[in-house]
Amino acid sequence: MNALLLIIGILFNVFLGALVLLRQREPAARALFMVAIGLIVWETANYFADISSANTLFWNRLTFAGPLLVMLASYLFILNLRGRVLSGRMSTFLVVGTIAILACVALPFVVTDIVARPGGYNPVYG
């Protein structure tokens, strides 16, 4: 049942993102497509973090990457709706900041270990 919900969620987000991106090529449409991709990463990582025994630590760490992408894309979407354009410095700052946060998520700063529990796994936060 959980796998079916995951597949429905992924298909919905792919459909929604592709529909928006194919109808308009504006920056706001690209930002909404990035939101859909972030949601796909997040829901897939959440699903596999609870059932995968081989790569549970990887999937738990990846769970934090999806919302980061959603947050960044939402910020860009709101800027586009307001008619604002990012300067070169601000774009560089956002890219470097996002990469730095992703590096912290990939390293054992956020999730240090995994503890097995009945029916799944619990992350140990650092």
Q: For every one of its 126 residues, what pLDDT tens digit does the chain have, with 9 covering 90 and above?
A: 788 988 999 999 899 888 888 888 788 888 889 899 999 999 999 888 888 777 888 888 899 889 999 999 899 888 888 888 888 898 889 889 988 998 888 888 888 888 888 877 888 887
Identify which of 32, 48, 39, 31 has the alpha carbon closest to the alpha carbon of residue 11: 39
State residue 115's pLDDT score: 85
E strand or H helix that includes residue 120: strand 120-125
DSSP 8-28: HHHHHHHHHHHHHHHH--SHH
State residue 17's pLDDT score: 85
Q: Looking at the whole model, is its pTM more than 0.95?
A: no
